[in-house]
Homo-oligomer: A and B are copies of this chain.
Amino acid sequence: MQLIEGGICAAKGFTAGGVHCGIRKSRTKKDISLIYSEVPASCAAVYTTNLVKGAPLVVTKEHLADGRAQAVICNSGNANTCNANGIEIAEGMADLAASRLGISPSDVVVASTGVIGEPMTLEPIAAGMDALISSLYADGSADAAEGIMTTDTIRKEVAVEFTLGGKTCRLGGIAKGSGMIHPNMATMLVFITTDAAIAPDMLQKALSGDIAGTFNMVSVDGDTSTNDMVVVLANGLAGNELITAEGEDFSAFMKALNTVTVRLCRLIAGDGEGATKLLECQVTGAASLPDARKVAKSVICSSLLKAAMFGADANWGRVLCAIGYSGVPLDVTLIDVAFRSNAGKISVCKGGAGVPFSEDTAKAILSEKEITIDVSLNQGSASATAWGCDLTYDYVKINGDYRT
C-alpha cells in the first residue's frame, strides 16, 4: 500500500468539483461541492449521535436505505439544521443534482455544514448548478475539499493505492473539521471514494468497525455536531472480485480504509479551530480496549491540558487528573507519563508520582507542532490512540463571533 495524490478522485470513475454559489457572502470562498461516480456505487455511512440532527442527515439516511449512491452534494456556510423547511431544502438539493446528472434523487447523498438555525433557500444552489456541474473534473478533489471547509485553514485530502486479489485499487477521502468536533459517533464531514468492489453490508461493516478507533477518537472542543457524517462510496471499477464476506480481501480493504481515516483524523485534529499543535495521546497497558479509549479521549479533551500544551508547559499533573476522571477503574500508582515530539522524549511521571526533569528540555519538546502524550497504565495489554489539539486564543476569537 502506498500514499498517492488525487484525494477523492484517485479512485477510477470518480469526478468532483466545488464552486462559490452565493450561500456565503465572500465570493472568494467556495460554498458547494459535488462528487460523482460514473456508475452506481455501494454506499455506507455513519451519522452524528446528536439528537438534534441536520435535515440533510434525515434525507441522506432515507436515500441510503438501499446501500447505493452515485453522487454527493454538500454545501458550507449553512448547516440547514433547526430550520422549519430543512427537509424540503435538503431534498431540493438532491433533486437539483440528480436532474443534472441524470440519476435518481435517491442516489444522492446530501450534506450541509455551517451556522445552525439560519434560514436557507435553494436559490443560490439552483443558480449555481451549471457552474457546479461544469466544475466536475477528474482532478477536482481539491476544489471539492475547499467547498466543504468552514473555519478549516487547510484542505484535507488523503489517498492510497492497494491491491485486492491482484487488482490495483484506490481509496481516497476529503474531510472538513475544525470546530464542534467530539468523539460521539461520526464527528465531522468525511467523504471517501474507492473503486474497490465491495457489497454495501460489508462496506458498512468496514466503516462502522473503523470509526471506533479513528473519527470517534478525535476531539477539538467536546461539542458533538448536529451535522456530522462519514460516507464511503465504492464503485467497483477496479475490477476486483466483489467482497461479500470477511477474509483476506476484506482485511486488506480495512487496512487501506484505516490508513486514509487515521491520516484524516490527524489532519482534522491538527487543524482544529485556533489550533497551533496536533496532540496525540497514546495509551498502552490498559485492562481493555474500551478502557484504553476512554483514558486517551479523557486526556485529549481536557481544556486545562490543551491550554498547557499551547503554552508548552509540561504540567503533567493535568494528564493524571484527566486520567483520574475518565471513569476507568485504575491503580493510579502504576501510571507512567511521558511527553514526546520530534525534539525528543521526556519522562515526567513514574508510578503515579513526579520524577525530576529538565524544564528546558520539556519546553523544547512541547514547542514542536506535533506532541505525543505517552500514558503507560501498566495494568493490562490494550492500547488506543486519540487525537486533539491545543486550546488557544484563536479558538475563543473564532467562536466568540462565529456568525458574523
* Residues of A that sit less than 8 Å from B by CB: 49-53, 79, 81-84, 115-119, 179-180, 182, 184, 221-226, 301-304, 307-308, 310-311, 313, 315-318, 320-325, 329-330, 332, 349, 352-354, 391-393, 395-404
Contact = CB atoms under 8 A, between A and B. Distances in A.
A305 to B, nearest CB: 8
Contacts of A311: 399-401
Contacts of A301: 222
B402 A391 contact: no
A317 B117 contact: yes
A325 B396 contact: no
Contacts of A224: 321, 324-325
Given A52-B323, A223-B302, A311-B401, 5 more contacts: A82-B317, A82-B320, A179-B304, A303-B303, A310-B400
B79 A329 contact: no
A225 B302 CA distance: 11
Contacts of A180: 304, 321
Contacts of A321: 50, 52, 116, 180, 223-226
Contacts of A116: 315, 317-318, 320-321
A16 B135 CA distance: 74
Given A222-B301, A223-B322, A325-B49, A353 B393 contact: no
Contacts of A393: 393, 396-397
B82 A329 contact: no
Contacts of A397: 393
B83 A354 contact: yes
Contacts of A316: 117
A51 B302 contact: no
A324 B400 contact: no
Most chain B C-beta atoms within 10 Å of own C-beta, residue among A49, A324, A395: A324
A319 to B, nearest CB: 9
Contacts of A392: 396
A317 B223 contact: no
Contacts of A391: 396, 399
Contact of A399 (B182, B226, B307): B307
Contact of A317 (B79, B84, B308, B329): B79
B318 A223 contact: yes
Nearest to A180: B304
A329 B398 CA distance: 31
Contacts of A400: 307-308, 310-311, 313
A218 to B, nearest CB: 15
Contact of A83 (B79, B81, B82, B353): B353
A85 to B, nearest CB: 9
A84 B332 CA distance: 12
Contacts of A52: 320-321, 323-324, 332, 352
29 contacts: A51-B324, A51-B332, A52-B321, A52-B332, A52-B352, A81-B320, A82-B349, A83-B353, A83-B354, A116-B315, A116-B318, A116-B320, A182-B325, A223-B302, A224-B321, A224-B325, A226-B317, A304-B402, A308-B399, A308-B400, A308-B401, A308-B402, A310-B400, A311-B401, A313-B402, A313-B404, A393-B396, A393-B397, A396-B396
A50 B167 CA distance: 53
Most chain B C-beta atoms within 10 Å of own C-beta, residue among A79, A84, A307, A392: A307
Contacts of A50: 321, 324-325
A396 B223 contact: no
A325 B51 CA distance: 6
Nearest to A119: B354
Nearest to A391: B396
Contacts of A222: 222, 301-303
